[in-house]
Structure 1
Amino acid sequence: MIIIEFKAYGKSLQYQAIDEAIRTVKFIRNSCIRLWMDNKGTGKYDLSKYCKILAKEFPFANELNSTARQAAAERAWSSISRFFDNCKKKIPGKKGFPKFQKRCRSVEYKQSGWKLSPDKKSITFSDKKGIGKLKLKGTWDLWRFDKKQIKRLRIVKRADGYYVQFCISVDVNEELEPSRTTIGLDVGLKDFYTDSDGNSEPNPRFYRTGEKAIKFYQRRVSRKKKGSSNRKKAVNRLGRQHLKISRQREEHAKRLAGCVVRSNDLVAYEDLRVKNLVKNHCLAKSINDAGWYQFRKWLEHFGEKFGRVTVAVNPAYTSQICSECGEVVKKSLSTRTHVCKCGCELDRDHNAAINILKRALSTVGHTGTWIVDPNAYGESTPTLPDSGLVEQVGSLK
């Protein structure tokens, strides 16, 4: 499955119709959650049937396409099923009990309620909300795909406008030649990551760079009168600045992950719980600005796409243990150099990256899909039969 996104252009009345459709989706989703709370044993199909009842009772709900109403009910059930899964897995802390949605920014259609133009440059929505025909602008070519391959369609509202997303059923797997290299990555705040070969990628710090502009727009918002149109415009400008930073962070993580996965047969990284790390208020802003979760998400995505092995290892004591002799050398966060009695002297992050790679190799070496060849890399390193890529890239710049 791939997601293709286009910028949608229309008139102000069409944008108002999209906003009304989004509010209707929020109403149906919250109504389904209320039905589940009040009636024990409510299932997925009960929520789907409840959409018809809502359409009969409320005219504004009947104006929305039936598949869009079903998609809203599916959103409610996904939050319920996630709560049940967390309870079964006994995840510590809060289990994510379903809540009523306050802000909704998208409406989702299935394979009806819309029609693409022959040239695939515009789309027309046929429900009674009055969205009508929207022009599409983007770099992807929809003519390459058959309409039957488009399984879902979504209209998304962002600070800089409206977007139309197409969910297309396509096989995205690619075969690459083996590179016969493995790598361990240690993410950090000083450098974005340091690999087991000693190479490091600088941390761009997008939020720190754009923080001055954000503070400027925040002051403008605070000066405007609440409920006024000028305040809404100031809030929109502030949202655009945040959207720009988030896009920069996402694109940076995506490009780096693609380069790393293409260059190595195995990529090892830390299984970090970012949600727990940001509880440290001294480092929370820097941790969120680094974008470790986005980087891991794209690593796993490209690993599945290119047939690479990605291994998440336990990060405990990776920076304290000596990568040469295995002794524990305790050090504080301010100590950036690892010095051991055995004579090993490395950068703290470089030492941790080597330990991460060793843990990954010791883990996957016991699985049946790996062939351990001691002479392949000079140590007990697994060899992948049908995988590979180009050489490791030091930096995008």
Structure 2
Amino acid sequence: MIVLEFKLKGRAEQYRVIDEMIRTAQFIRNKALRYWMDNRGVKLSDLYKQCAVMAAEFEWAGKLNSMARQASAERAIFAIQRFFANCKANKPGKKGYPQYKKFSRSVEYKTSGWKLSPNKKHLTFTDGFAAGTFKLIGSRDLHFYSPKEIKRVRVIRRADGYYAQFAINVERTEELAPTGKAIGIDVGLNHFLTASHGATVPNPRHLRKSEKALHRAQRRVSRKKKGSANRKKAMNRLGGKHLKVSRQRKNFAIETANALVKSNDFIAYEALQVRNMVKNSKLAKSISDAAWSQFTDWLQYLGRVYGKTVVAVAPHHTSQNCSACGTTVKKSLSVRTHVCPCGAVLDRDHNAALNILAKALRQVGIEINTVGHTGINAWEQNDLYSLVVTSASKLTG
């Protein structure tokens, strides 16, 4: 499944109709959730039936396409299923009991309620709201895909306009020549990542660099009268600045993950529990700004696209153990240099990256006695390379 996004270009009255569509989808989602709360033990399939009941009861709800109503009910269903899954898994802390949505920003259609123009440059909504035809602005091309392959169309309102996302039922695969290289990476706050061969990628700190502009925009919002048109404009400007930071962060994650995947055949990283780490109030903003989870998600996705092996390992003791001899050398977060009695002296994150690579190799069935330069050189031997690729394919396949 791939997703292609385009900006919708239309008239102001068309955008107002989209806002009505989004509010209707939110209403249906919340009503379906209310029905589940009032009728404990009800089957999830009954929530689909409630969509038809709501369409008959509320005339404006009936304007929304029937499959779009079902997609709205599915959002409630997914929240309910996630809650029960967390309870069954005994997830620590809050289990995520489903809540009502107050500020939805999207409406989703399935295979009806919309149509593409013959040249696939325009999108028309054909349900009762009659939002009309919008021009699709974007660099991607829908000509490569048939309408039957488009399984969902999601309309999203953002600070800088309205967008349409097309979920297309195709698998993206690309071939690259093998590089014969393996790498372990340790993510951090001083450097965004440190590789097992010693290279580092600077931490861009997108939010930190934009904080002054964000604070100024926030003060302008606070000075405006609540409910006024000027306050709404100020809020849109503030939202635009936050959107810019979000896009910068996403682009950086994609570019970094793409470079790693294309230049290595075997990539190892730590499976960090970021949700727990952000509970540290002193580091929460910096950790969130680094977006490690987004980066590793793209690493896994691009690994599948290019047929590379990406392995996540447990983060235990990767910084404390010596990568040369295995001895545990206790150190606090403020200590940035690893010094071992065996004579190994190297950057703390570099030491962790070497340990991560060693753990990943052991995880796929390869044992290396020393992970330092000897281990990296040994990786480049063809016999070990073939063995690792074969073992990794069994693990991930």
**Normalised-by-shorter TM-score class:** over 0.9
Q: Which amino acid aligns with 2:365?
A: G
Partner of 1:383: 388
Following TM superposition, by how much is the alpha carbon of 1:40 offset from its aligned partner in structure 2, in angstroms? Answer: 2.0
Corresponding residue SS for 1:164? strand
Partner of 2:149: 149
CA deviation string 1:327-382 (max 9, x = no partner): 11111212111111100000010000001111111111179xxxxxx965479774
Partner of 2:277: 277
Q: Which amino acid aligns with 2:95?
A: K
Q: Which amino acid aligns with 1:10?
A: G
Cα distance in structure 2, aligned partners of 1:253 and 1:22: 30
Following TM superposition, by how much is the alpha carbon of 1:178 offset from its aligned partner in structure 2, in angstroms? Answer: 2.4
Seen in structure 2, the aligned counterparts of structure 1 residues 36 and 110 have a Cα distance that, compared at 3 Å, is same
Matched, 1:315 2:320: no
Matched, 1:95 2:100: no
Cα distance in structure 2, aligned partners of 1:102 and 1:376: 54
CA deviation string 1:193-247 (max 9, x = no partner): 0010101000111111111110110110111011111001000000000000000
* Residues 265 and 387, structure 1, Cα contact 8 Å, conserved in 2: no
List aligned pairs for 1:144-223, cutoff 5 A: 144-223=144-223
Partner of 2:18: 18
Deviates more, 1:152-161 or 1:257-266: 257-266
* Residues 151 and 169, structure 2, Cα contact 8 Å, conserved in 1: yes
CA deviation string 1:291-336 (max 9, x = no partner): 1111011011111212222111111221111111111111121211
List aligned pairs for 1:210-289, cutoff 5 A: 210-289=210-289
| Structure 2 stretches lacking a partner, 5+ long | 368-376
Corresponding residue SS for 1:179? coil
Following TM superposition, by how much is the alpha carbon of 1:84 offset from its aligned partner in structure 2, in angstroms? Answer: 1.6
Partner of 2:5: 5
Following TM superposition, by how much is the alpha carbon of 1:176 offset from its aligned partner in structure 2, in angstroms? Answer: 2.8
Corresponding residue SS for 2:204? coil
Partner of 1:391: none
Cα distance in structure 2, aligned partners of 1:52 and 1:386: 52
* Residues 180 and 383, structure 1, Cα contact 8 Å, conserved in 2: no
Deviates more, 1:84-93 or 1:69-78: 84-93
Cα distance in structure 1, aligned partners of 2:299 and 2:337: 28
Cα distance in structure 2, aligned partners of 1:363 and 1:20: 52
Cα distance in structure 1, aligned partners of 2:7 and 2:378: 53
Deviates more, 1:336-345 or 1:271-280: 271-280
Following TM superposition, by how much is the alpha carbon of 1:120 offset from its aligned partner in structure 2, in angstroms? Answer: 1.3
Cα distance in structure 2, aligned partners of 1:307 and 1:384: 11
Deviates more, 1:379-388 or 1:268-277: 379-388
Deviates more, 1:321-330 or 1:84-93: 84-93
Following TM superposition, by how much is the alpha carbon of 1:279 offset from its aligned partner in structure 2, in angstroms? Answer: 1.1
CA deviation string 1:129-174 (max 9, x = no partner): 1311111111111112111111111110000000011111112122
Deviates more, 1:13-22 or 1:36-45: 36-45
Aligned length: 382
Q: Which amino acid aligns with 1:319?
A: S
Counting helix residues as a fraction of each chain, which structure ranks higher? 2
List aligned pairs for 1:23-34, cutoff 5 A: 23-34=23-34
| Structure 1 stretches lacking a partner, 5+ long | 368-373, 389-397
* Alignment TM-score, normalising by the size of structure 2: 0.92
Partner of 2:113: 113
Partner of 1:371: none
Q: Which amino acid aligns with 1:302?
A: L
Q: Which amino acid aligns with 2:87?
A: C
Cα distance in structure 1, aligned partners of 2:305 and 2:86: 28
Cα distance in structure 1, aligned partners of 2:73 and 2:264: 42
Cα distance in structure 2, aligned partners of 1:97 and 1:181: 45
Cα distance in structure 1, aligned partners of 2:292 and 2:214: 22
Q: Which amino acid aligns with 1:90?
A: N
Q: Which amino acid aligns with 1:204?
A: P
Cα distance in structure 1, aligned partners of 2:144 and 2:36: 42
Partner of 2:44: 44
Partner of 1:356: 356
* Residues 6 and 165, structure 1, Cα contact 8 Å, conserved in 2: yes
Seen in structure 2, the aligned counterparts of structure 1 residues 366 and 91 have a Cα distance that, compared at 3 Å, is farther
Following TM superposition, by how much is the alpha carbon of 1:44 offset from its aligned partner in structure 2, in angstroms? Answer: 2.5
Q: Which amino acid aligns with 1:269?
A: Y
- Among all aligned residue pairs of Structure 1 and Structure 2, give the percentage whose two residues are the same amino acid: 56
Q: Which amino acid aligns with 2:215?
A: K
Seen in structure 2, the aligned counterparts of structure 1 residues 23 and 185 have a Cα distance that, compared at 3 Å, is same
Seen in structure 2, the aligned counterparts of structure 1 residues 185 and 110 have a Cα distance that, compared at 3 Å, is same
Deviates more, 1:236-245 or 1:304-313: 304-313
* Residues 179 and 387, structure 1, Cα contact 8 Å, conserved in 2: no
Matched, 1:83 2:88: no
Q: Which amino acid aligns with 1:247?
A: R
Seen in structure 2, the aligned counterparts of structure 1 residues 125 and 261 have a Cα distance that, compared at 3 Å, is same
* Residues 44 and 74, structure 1, Cα contact 8 Å, conserved in 2: no
* Residues 152 and 168, structure 2, Cα contact 8 Å, conserved in 1: yes
Cα distance in structure 2, aligned partners of 1:261 and 1:89: 33
Partner of 1:325: 325
Corresponding residue SS for 1:98? coil
Seen in structure 2, the aligned counterparts of structure 1 residues 359 and 387 have a Cα distance that, compared at 3 Å, is closer
